[in-house]
Structure 1
Amino acid sequence: MTPSSQATARGGLTTVELIWIEKRIEHRIRFGRPAHETIIDKRRRVIGFAPGSVFAFVRWAANDFGTITSRIDIVRAVLPAEPYQTLPYVRPGGEILLKIAGWDKVERVLQLIDAIEAISLDPVGAAPDYWRQTHNRLVAGGTLCAYSLEQHRAFLLRKRATS
């Protein structure tokens, strides 16, 4: 089955497997608007996002000695015919806007998300270019910029002009 036919079989949703095993594994959504949810058992569920939806997927794992991985991915769910990048636990994949590993960097992204919410905006609606820029700045060790209402207004105007 091709990737686009797999997406069509799921009704065009991008699915994310969420896992929670206390003190071992945590896969969760930090923001996003799921269109569907299936509970597999008390530790696992699968949620689906409609094409065009943006969500933040946080993955953390530990062993007896502490944290072994900490990641955050900000992803846009794609249409069945669109190209996509693959991610673990995300089917078929999506357009990756930000992909960061390491607790220090993940924590900085979580703080930026909190700051967006503090100005009464839903991070789902933030400009995709903001997430790409944040990714690039983190990778390069640059200074991060907070998302502003002015940036958001400019993004909405650009979006309206191209529609």
Structure 2
Amino acid sequence: MTGTAPPRVGGGPVPSANSSDALTHVELTWIENRIEYWIRFGRQAGDRILDRRRRVVSFRPGAIFAFVRWAANDFGTVISRIDIVRAVDAGAAYQTLPFVRPGGEILLKIEGWPKVEKVLLHIDAVEAAGVDPCDVAPDHWRHVTHRMNAGHEPRSYTFARHQAWLKRREIEQ
């Protein structure tokens, strides 16, 4: 046995959790008005098209990305979710997440379209402040999760807050 998943129809194998490469792979699907999985932000290390509706994007260890999942059936929305995840090093501990292989460190997990939409607006505000969401302090995404789950508004991530994070990270190294 080679340790890879069996070939998938129309696109070849998707790397399994025990794959030897050090990348984190995210399978994206787009079936208009049914299943829409996409990356809101993240620096991709690779992108592979499986078929006209599916592709796999890959991230290097340490990369932070936002994975949005939305699905519906004939009766309405079935799932609305956003996860902000940090890709982990090979052999490091991780949390499992559907469609993310092997998994990652989940910094933010929000479910339900109204809350997901607020997170997307928060990401827009971070970008408007001149900060790439990939570079935001991981603790800020945890803060957003906890504040929203408690029914409160998260604090804004300002350019000044970002500069403080960069200095703190510099000192810690």
TM-score (ref. length: structure 1): 0.94
Q: Does 1:85 align with 2:95?
A: yes
Unaligned runs of 5+ in 1: none
Q: Counterpart of 2:152?
A: 142
Q: Counterpart of 1:161?
A: 171
Q: Counterpart of 1:6?
A: 18
Q: Could you say what secondary structure the match of 2:142 adopts?
A: helix
Aligned-partner Cα distance in 1 for 2:149–2:127 = 24
Aligned-partner Cα distance in 2 for 1:119–1:127 = 14
CA RMSD of aligned residues (A): 1.4
Q: Could you say what secondary structure the match of 2:33 adopts?
A: coil
Which structure shows the higher helix fraction?
1
Aligned-partner Cα distance in 1 for 2:49–2:144 = 33
Q: Could you say what secondary structure the match of 2:30 adopts?
A: strand
Aligned partner of 1:29 among 36, 39, 44: 39
Aligned partner of 1:108 among 118, 124, 133: 118
Give the CA deviation at 1:159.
Answer: 0.4
Q: Counterpart of 1:152?
A: 162
Give the CA deviation at 1:143.
Answer: 2.2
Aligned-partner Cα distance in 2 for 1:121–1:74 = 16
Residues 114-158 of structure 1, C-alpha deviations (whole Å, 9 max, x = no match)? 001111211000000000010011111122211111110110001
Letter of the aligned partner of 1:70 in structure 2? Answer: S
Q: Counterpart of 1:122?
A: 132
Letter of the aligned partner of 1:6 in structure 2? Answer: N
Give the CA deviation at 1:66.
Answer: 1.8
Aligned-partner Cα distance in 1 for 2:58–2:40 = 14
TM-score (ref. length: structure 2): 0.89
Residues 2-60 of structure 1, C-alpha deviations (whole Å, 9 max, x = no match)? xxx725x1x20000000000110000000001101110000000011000000000000
Structure 1 residue ranges (4+ consecutive) displaced by more than 2 angstroms after TM superposition: none
Aligned-partner Cα distance in 2 for 1:154–1:6 = 38
Q: Counterpart of 2:106?
A: 96
Q: How many residues matched?
A: 159
Letter of the aligned partner of 2:82 in structure 1? Answer: I
Aligned-partner Cα distance in 2 for 1:121–1:158 = 16
Residues 82-103 of structure 1, C-alpha deviations (whole Å, 9 max, x = no match)? 1000000000000000001000
Letter of the aligned partner of 2:107 in structure 1? Answer: L
Aligned-partner Cα distance in 1 for 2:79–2:56 = 21
- The question of whether the paired residues in 1 share the 8 Å contact of 2:63 and 2:87 is answered with yes
Q: Counterpart of 2:8?
A: none
Q: Counterpart of 2:80?
A: 70
